[in-house]
Structure 1
């Protein structure tokens, strides 16, 4: 990636958009058709019969160097994102009139965010600065920053049309929450929600309910009646600005030192970000079940942490508002990391070109990158694998769901796992007879599906991206040999279970097919996988 400080936002956004779509083409379009090969420093591929090439490094992460090109007759010409979109449409046979506009919207959003970042300052808190660093989004998504849902004109007593930028973590946004009062006879909650009571003073017979201002704008029509008849009341704004984290809809509320996960009826990448009713209940159910699991994991793998989600609160005003106003309470990383340890988002550590964030660990990496990497793999990978193999728990350790705690020297000493929406129980290994059927369904994967999710998030989405950033333009083979050594040591202690034996033998890995699911306009839960090369194969 070229310099964020020197290049124009439009040029950087074009480069990033083109790179993301081209990676998708390698993985999901040309690769499965046998139309990808390596020639010297280039990756060569064909899309819709047109030869393309780009200099690449970083192994599975596919970091590009220089401008991608297409073959025009007998000469190579610079490839634009617009041309690549047209080639993808031709290759896939058309039929998706939204695709080009989604890619273009993502590119415009990146440029807008880059311009905004030049006018704003990152949070002083290094954790929050890392949360707000993901300007380019998922590196293997065709429209990683496309987002809809700009509020329509809304009633003055809720929220006007502020647009999405006012709420964007990548633009260093912060803003106070709106506090509603929910009348006791329509209050919906479970678990420990005491922290929410500190956010506002409600009159007798009401409880405070924090709300995301963007979401209130989106729900303005549905809220009019309960606000008029007193089932809901407006308690004004919170006392301090809350800070959006990388997921956009989860905010850190400093007034109570908690993270609050809101519903947001906005499509961000593949999903409309809504807390379904069964996810509200599931968060509390999982929190009660995972306490003993993480106590065992932290005893076996010191430095293992997690962020419980002990309660939720909403208003029982029909499914639309129950879900739309639902907020999940989550512990903050500062509550679980030990003193002297600084949590940083893994996604920020994996993102090249963001020296302000990487500076926190740069000295430790520069002094001994292999040692730093070994510590990183030990902290992140081993508890994830053991959660599945020993406890039948599927964590979702993708780059936005893991915080790495570094000590004063910048060395990884803790790993913090979060977001119970993606955490599942392996079916048949947990007693769920007392859990409502729909909640139980949302909490479980079958064994094969759970293992695929672990492999994708850990071995495709996460570790390759961090390894590529550590290696820069150099080879990543040495880092993967170290990772293989760490995993082999764990496998040996476990008696070489089949799953680890296959992984370490170099079996292909499942990569989530983001381009395919966007092209088909399917729900994210229907996304399939494509096989990709296992970076451990070379060191097997």
Structure 2
């Protein structure tokens, strides 16, 4: 039976808490069962819906159960999974006639290629999630700045089994740097004699002829292995490596060479080299949305020639909200904390706004990766969704052929951002927007289906919209990607359309 008190990562974090924060030891222990179930829920969703090569058949049983038949004859049994649900909780999955409540132990028992390494990540994800929940504070007032909204997000990615995996981060590191713990982070300023600078790098980040590169303290200690030196204070955002400078200042994206969810969060030289071109291009394209979309412009970017030592400065999302009149800028991932999506009319209005903007840009030739972290919504004082703000342009896709049809010059660049492949463009947008933004905000297939049905009545028909309406919907195969380290880049699954 899967009943052992604590797994390795859980025990290690618990032991460290006993030294550095003994007041959190009991809340952490109490939070562990719920954290395991949250990670197991995300893992089971992936096992049920992703094209895993060792699953040969899936059978529904009575409408509320599903059986997975493995290539070697073994079977997995568990509850049916709504691919858009954020509320359902899977407490137990049966494998080879044994119940498993631990995602890491289930993955280890499956013994498929690369399952041991993934099991360790799942173990860490559950432990870290329990720590995040144990350290959460009761909100006493409505947030003002967008970074305050981000720090309300405790559980991380709504669908990724590694929703809180932070390998290499001790309990002390997580308590110091995790946005959900609401600490101020002291960024080091590393002087670099020979750096590639793109855009305008501010004078206060220079020392004579040298450029000062903001460095995350974890990066300084574990990768660069250097003291912080001169420091600046900043508020960590949900991506962990991006932070908001005080008093409405710009956001600074730092290199963080740790694997969080799926990716190592360093900053490629390519993204620095192309940052100004992409920012200027997207500012011009956003101007074609009649004020419904703004992008946070890249102010400056710098690299010392290594993805481990680089930084990007970009505008704060508050730049595009009239905060004096009471407008608020809320990351989509934090909308569930507002209670607004519980209103069907509000959700339909937000869905209509998001689809209108994103489909218009896709028709022009730009596919946004519009998930809950990159996309923010400007709310009126009464909470109505007025317009969108998009940040972090590193992973958009741009189609020169589509741009040419509208007489829009393509940006003067090459590389992974540029593609005319229709499937790639639609996957990039719909894989983030429908599941990661609208699905996670709605929280279930029926609610999402109703919002989409209402919203699409007002949208002009197009081949892109027809593709979405006909379904199925592309979504990243997050579990398969972690079990396929030999395959770089995204791997895709398909989930049923909420409209069918």
Whether 2:137 is the aligned partner of 1:143: answer no
Please give the alpha-carbon distance, in whole angstroms, between the structure 2 residues aligned to 1:314 and 1:37.
Answer: 52
Relative distance call for 1:393 and 1:433 in structure 2 (3 A) is closer
Q: Secondary structure at the match of 1:84?
A: helix
Question: How far did 1:465 drift?
Answer: 1.5
Of the three residues 107, 118, 135, the one matched with 2:126 is 107
Partner of 2:241: 249
Of the three residues 226, 231, 241, the one matched with 1:237 is 231
Please give the alpha-carbon distance, in whole angstroms, between the structure 1 residues aligned to 2:147 and 2:401.
Answer: 39
Question: How far did 1:30 drift?
Answer: 7.6
Relative distance call for 1:220 and 1:447 in structure 2 (3 A) is same
Task: Please give the TM-score of this superposition, normalised by the length of structure 1.
Answer: 0.77
Of the three residues 164, 186, 197, the one matched with 1:176 is 186
Alignment check: 8 A CA contact 1:402 1:416 kept:
yes
Of the three residues 423, 431, 434, the one matched with 1:456 is 431
Question: How far did 1:72 drift?
Answer: 7.5
Please give the alpha-carbon distance, in whole angstroms, between the structure 1 residues aligned to 2:245 and 2:264.
Answer: 23
Of the three residues 191, 196, 212, the one matched with 2:199 is 191
Please give the alpha-carbon distance, in whole angstroms, between the structure 2 residues aligned to 1:467 and 1:382.
Answer: 17
Q: How do residues 324-335 of structure 1 correspond to structure 2 at under 5 angstroms?
A: 324-335=308-319
Of the three residues 373, 389, 400, the one matched with 1:416 is 389
Alignment check: 8 A CA contact 1:30 1:47 kept:
no
Partner of 2:173: 163
Of the three residues 60, 78, 87, the one matched with 1:37 is 60
Alignment check: 8 A CA contact 2:40 2:91 kept:
no
Question: How far did 1:332 drift?
Answer: 0.5
Whether 2:334 is the aligned partner of 1:370: answer no
* Structure 1 unaligned spans of 5+: 152-160, 225-233, 351-356
Please give the alpha-carbon distance, in whole angstroms, between the structure 2 residues aligned to 1:190 and 1:415.
Answer: 26
Post-superposition Cα deviations, 1:76-129, rounded to whole Å, max 9, x if no partner, equal: 95644244224543xxx3454312111111111112222232599999545223
Task: Please give the TM-score of this superposition, normalised by the length of structure 2.
Answer: 0.83
Question: How far did 1:376 drift?
Answer: 0.7
Please give the alpha-carbon distance, in whole angstroms, between the structure 2 residues aligned to 1:100 and 1:507.
Answer: 32
Question: How far did 1:341 drift?
Answer: 1.3
Question: How far did 1:249 drift?
Answer: 0.6
Please give the alpha-carbon distance, in whole angstroms, between the structure 2 residues aligned to 1:193 and 1:203.
Answer: 12
Question: How far did 1:343 drift?
Answer: 1.2
Partner of 2:85: 61
Of the three residues 291, 314, 317, the one matched with 2:303 is 314
Please give the alpha-carbon distance, in whole angstroms, between the structure 2 residues aligned to 1:482 and 1:463.
Answer: 9
Post-superposition Cα deviations, 1:330-360, rounded to whole Å, max 9, x if no partner, equal: 110111122321111211224xxxxxx32xx
Question: How far did 1:6 drift?
Answer: 11
Please give the alpha-carbon distance, in whole angstroms, between the structure 2 residues aligned to 1:268 and 1:204.
Answer: 36
* Structure 2 unaligned spans of 5+: 1-26, 404-408
Q: Secondary structure at the match of 2:130?
A: helix
Question: How far did 1:62 drift?
Answer: 6.2
Q: Secondary structure at the match of 1:490?
A: coil
Whether 2:75 is the aligned partner of 1:50: answer yes
Alignment check: 8 A CA contact 1:244 1:252 kept:
yes
Alignment check: 8 A CA contact 1:456 1:510 kept:
yes
Alignment check: 8 A CA contact 1:45 1:53 kept:
yes
Bigger mean CA offset, 119-128 vs 480-489: 119-128
Question: How far did 1:503 drift?
Answer: 1.9
- How many residues align? The count is 463
Q: How do residues 345-360 of structure 1 correspond to structure 2 at under 5 angstroms?
A: 345-350=331-336, 357-358=337-338
